[in-house]
Amino acid sequence: MITKTCLITGASSGIGRSTALLAASKGYQVAIACLPEHLQQGQEVVLQLQKNGAKAIAIAGDIGKKYDIEHIFKTTQKTFGTIDAVVNNAGVYLESNIESIDYENLAHMIAVNLTGTIYCCTQAAQIMSTECGGKGGSIVNVSSMAATIGGRPGASAYAGSKGAIDIFTTGFAREVAACGIRVNTVRPGVTATGMTTQLETDPELKKRVAASIPLGRIGQPEEVAELIIWLLSDHASLVTGAHINVGGGGFHVAGMK
């Protein structure tokens, strides 16, 4: 069996962590990229993977910074020889009415969610593209159900950053299809991660949010990870340029504040 390498950004917790665990169980060598302040958490995930017999490393880096992105990809390639799969999961959530949005917070969100994700795809393509001597591969960009209707109240800027990723992915997938690279997005809805900890301390809010989802419940990171790993696999060999929702049927915001 050929061993493949999967690089996952934002992998110290939440969807990224669940994807790392599942990828390792499927035989991938795993590179966990995370913010420097989350490196200990990332190393804990690595230890868990190694105990299960997988090869894994944790790399500190900020996806909002060009040098850090290049460092993450170079370190992964140097350690494992190549990169076969990339999951661009790192993201920043920004909740603010547009009239009171802070410019620095906005710029940081765009740097991570949009510019950083696109530049990660640039790095991945340079390694994977058959035109560059690579073997091809698969990329999954983590978008959001917010992109489908503009987000919940106060999340229009965040939704815009994710909508831009959807559009970019459509074009990028066409550009690199002949180079052996498939590119898709997954769109999680409200999922039990670090971005939604407020729900765990506010039962009434959690109840209202769950009621706004057609399936009537908040998603789990493991459920999103299953879709990501499927898209990375040969089972999805004909799937590229797709945007797949994994959010319980979408959401409505009537009565939400």
From 93, 103, 119, 158, the catalytic residue: 158
The DSSP code for 191 is B
Distances (CA, A) of 111 to 58, 155, 184: 22, 17, 20
Cα–Cα distance, 199 to 217 (Å, whole number): 12
Residue 129 φ then ψ, to 5°: -55, 130
Cα–Cα distance, 192 to 186 (Å, whole number): 16
Which segments within 49-205 are labelled E, that is strand? 56-60, 85-88, 137-142, 181-188
Is 93 among the catalytic positions? no
Cα–Cα distance, 150 to 49 (Å, whole number): 37
Q: Which two tokens stand for residue 117?
A: 């994700």
Q: What amino acid positions are annotated as catalytic residues?
A: 158
